[in-house]
Amino acid sequence: MSLRGALLVAQAGGPSCVINSSLYGVIAEAGGRPEITALLGARHGIEGVLKGDFIDLAAQDPEDILGLKRTPAAALGGCRRQLNSADPDDGDIRRLLAILARYDVRYFIYNGGNDSMDTALKVHQAAAAAGYKLRVMGVPKTVDNDLVGTDYCPGYGSAGKYLATIVREAALHNESMFTSEPVTILVTVGRNAGWLPAACSLARRADNEAPHIICFPEVPFRKADFLAKVNNWRQRIGGAFIVSGEGLVDERGDYVMVKTGGVATDGFGHPELGAVGDYLKALIEENLGLKTRVIVPDISQQAAMHCAAAADVAYAELAGRQAVKGALEGLNGLMSTITVNGREIGSGYVPLATVANAERPLPPAFIDSAGDFVSGEFFEYIRPFIQGTVELPRDDNGLPLFVRLRGRQA
C-alpha cells in the first residue's frame, strides 16, 4: 500500500473562517510521515496546480502553521475555476499530469465545495486513465452546509454563529425603531440551500423574538403569503425581522430575482443571484408602506473568525487529518466526512462522485409546518457545531491578528 512522493494540497471555491483549520489538519497529519517527501501548497486551487504555483508548507514558521487555526479565508488562495474534462488528451489535463510528475506528487488533497469535488474527481479520473499513481482525497468546506454525503460541512457552524449573533443584536435595534423603521431584512449566502437562514433561528429565545420570518430557498416564495405574514407581525408586535436565503424561488421554481448584465455569472457558470433583500424591501415598502432596512453581510459571514465556534474549528481540522490518513492507508477518490449518529459525532468517507456538483437542501424535517421557521429537530442538529469560542491574539487596538503564509514558489 505504501506510496512515496509529494503531497499537494489546495483550497478551492469561496473560503470560510475554518478552511485554514483543515489545511492545518492536513499539514499536521502529513508532517513527519516518511512516505511524504514534500509538502506543497498550490496557490488558488486548480489554477495554481496547473501553473505549478506552489509554496513549500514544510518551510513555514511553525507559529504561522499554528496560526492557521485562527485565521479566516484561504491562506493558499481560493478559486472559482474547474476542470472541464478528465480526458488525458485535454490541454489542462496534460498540463496537470506533467506538473504532478515534475513534482512527483502522489497525494492530492483538495479542500472545497461541490464544484471543487468535481475538480478533484476529474484529477482522480485523469490520473487513473493515464496510469499515473495518485491518491486523491477531498476535504469538505462550505458555510452553505450543502454537500451531499457528509452530515456537516466545516465552516457552517462559525458562519451560523456569527449570523445568529448579529441577528440578535440587530433585532433589538429593529425593535427599538418599530415606530419608524419597522422591518429589517438580513440576507445570507447559501444559494439554493437554507442552512444559513436556518442558523439565524438561534437568535430567538422566546416567542415574538427575532427572526420572525425565515425565507428558505426550499420553500416556494409566495408574495401574498409573505406580505400577510409581515403585516401580521406588524399588527402583533409592531414590526418584523426577516431572514432570507439568497436563492429564493417562486412556485414555478424560478429565482425571484436573477441579476443580468455586468459580470453576472461566477467562474463556475452559476448565475449571479440578484439582490433579494432589495426585492423584498421594495415589495414591503410598496405594498405595506413599512420602511425597511436591509443587512447584507456577504463575505463577512464567511470570514467571521471573531465569532468562530471552537467545535467548527476542531471538525475542520479533523476533516483535513482524515483525508491525509485515508490517503496514507491507500484510500483514493473519496472525500472525508463529518458524521452525526445520535449524539455521536465522528468521521468517514464518501466517493467524490457522490459529492460532485450535488446539493443537499435543508431537510423538510428541519422546517416548521408554517414553512417560515425551523423545527426543534434542527436545533438538536446544529447545537454541537456552534459550541465554544476561539481566543484570538489582538493588536494594540484590540483587533484580531491573523497569519499569512510565506513564499510564492516552492
Interacting residues with a second copy between 185 and 244 (CB under 8 A)? 186, 202-203, 205
Q: Which of residues 271-300 bind a second copy (CB under 8 A)?
A: 275, 278, 281-282, 285-286, 289-300
Cis peptide before 211 (omega within 30 of 0): yes
Length of the chain equals: 410
Tell me the longest C-alpha to C-alpha distance in the chain.
Answer: 70
338 in Cβ contact with 315 (< 8 Å):
yes
Q: Which of residues 363-382 bind a second copy (CB under 8 A)?
A: none
Minimum CB separation of residue 99 from a second copy in Å reads 17
Which of 53, 92, 115, 144 is catalytic? The answer is 144
Q: Which of residues 8-67 bind a second copy (CB under 8 A)?
A: 11, 14-15, 17, 44, 47
C-alpha span between 215 and 201 (Å, rounded): 12
146 in Cβ contact with 205 (< 8 Å):
no
Residue from the set 61, 104, 169, 250 that interacts with a second copy by CB under 8 A: 169
Residue from the set 177, 227, 257, 345 that interacts with a second copy by CB under 8 A: 177
Q: Which of residues 385-404 bind a second copy (CB under 8 A)?
A: 386-389, 395, 397-400, 402
Task: Tell me whether residue 169 or residue 377 sits nearer to a second copy (CB atom).
Answer: 169
Q: Comparing C-alpha atoms, which of 290, 325, 287, 76 is closest to residue 182? A: 290
Contact between 98 and a second copy (CB under 8 A)? Answer: no
Task: Tell me whether residue 33 or residue 95 sits nearer to a second copy (CB atom).
Answer: 95
Give how many residues touch a second copy by CB under 8 A.
79
Q: Which of residues 56-95 bind a second copy (CB under 8 A)?
A: 71-81
**Residue indicated by cell numbers 463556475:** 268
- With vertex at residue 144, the alpha carbon angle to CA 137 and CA 199, rounded to the nearest 5 degrees, is 135
- With vertex at residue 37, the alpha carbon angle to CA 32 and CA 41, rounded to the nearest 5 degrees, is 90
379 in Cβ contact with 24 (< 8 Å):
no
Q: Which of residues 334-363 bind a second copy (CB under 8 A)?
A: none
C-alpha span between 34 and 316 (Å, rounded): 24
Contact between 161 and a second copy (CB under 8 A)? Answer: yes
**Binding window for a second copy (CB under 8 A); candidates: 97-105, 305-313, 333-341, 366-374:** 305-313
CB under 8 Å to 87, separation ≥6 — which residues? 93, 126, 129
Contact between 156 and a second copy (CB under 8 A)? Answer: no
Minimum CB separation of residue 306 from a second copy in Å reads 6
C-alpha span between 23 and 324 (Å, rounded): 11
Q: Is residue 144 annotated as a catalytic residue, yes or no?
A: yes
Which residues carry out catalysis?
Answer: 144
